[in-house]
Chains A and B, each alone.
Chain A
Amino acid sequence: GEDVEQSLFLSVREGDSSVINCTYTDSSSTYLYWYKQEPGAGLQLLTYIFSNMDMKQDQRLTVLLNKKDKHLSLRIADTQTGDSAIYFCAENRDTGFQKLVFGTGTRLLVSP
């Protein structure tokens, strides 16, 4: 299909790890991204991964990429209440020019 899919909701306790999953559509996408959206704000780039990598770590964030299954995940270690937000994955489709297509978003709720 054309849609980048994510599960709608994830609830964790403070200090636990969170794993947010994404299935993208275009196997030729060169870069894949994770954006964070807090209430009433625009999207903020968290991290990205190049398609020839299968893992990228950036402080508390770990991105895993399975190109064969077109599956992307974001792991947040030691999740804090400030991590509560909506997380969007996005793929960079090359249609002659670079075009970002966003997923449906996963709302992460972190409880104390």
Chain B
Amino acid sequence: EAGVAQSPRYKIIEKRQSVAFWCNPISGHATLYWYQQILGQGPKLLIQFQNNGVVDDSQLPKDRFSAERLKGVDSTLKIQPAKLEDSAVYLCASSPNRGQGNEKLFFGSGTQLSVL
């Protein structure tokens, strides 16, 4: 079974530039998550999709971050414009969400973003 695919692996941009990350979850997984992991911290949920609908984006800085999952499969996360404090690893995860209340997340390797 293929895992969660993310690209690019690394990205270096200057502040005020735009950047986009892509994620392809495990086939058949209904729920997709984007997490931000700042160096030395645990992952923080940015946005959670159930199929192609958003169920939680309460911690997404909506003035600069956006995400979509148009066909309920792959997803893109965009930052526009980037700030220095956006430097982090952006992790995508998916779960089958079989409604059992036991969310086992499968993570991609992440995109490491450096904003200079």
- Asked whether B76 is an interface residue with its Cβ less than 8 Å from the other chain, the reply is no
A-B contact pairs, 12 of them (CB 8 A): A30-B102, A31-B101, A41-B109, A42-B107, A42-B108, A43-B93, A43-B107, A45-B106, A97-B55, A97-B56, A100-B103, A105-B42
| A33: min CB distance to chain B, Å | 8
A94 at the interface (CB under 8 A from B): yes
Interface digits, B83-114 against A, CB 8 Å rule (1 contact, 0 not)? 00000000101000100011111111110000
Residues from chain B with Cβ under 8 Å of A102 in the complex: 35, 42-44
Does A40 count as interface, using CB distance less than 8 angstroms? yes
The answer to whether A105 and B41 have CB atoms under 8 Å apart is yes
Contacts of A4 in B (CB 8 A): 42
- Cβ-defined contact, B45 with A92, below 8 A: no
Query: In the docked arrangement, what's the CA distance between A31 and B101, Å?
Result: 8
Is A20 part of the binding interface, using a Cβ–Cβ cutoff of 8 Å?
Answer: no
Which parts of A81-112 form the interface with B (CB within 8 Å)? 88, 92, 94-95, 97-105
A 34-63 binary contact with B (CB < 8 Å = 1; else 0):
010000111111001010000000000000
Interface mask (B17-49 → A, CB under 8 Å = 1, otherwise 0): 000000000000000010100001111110010
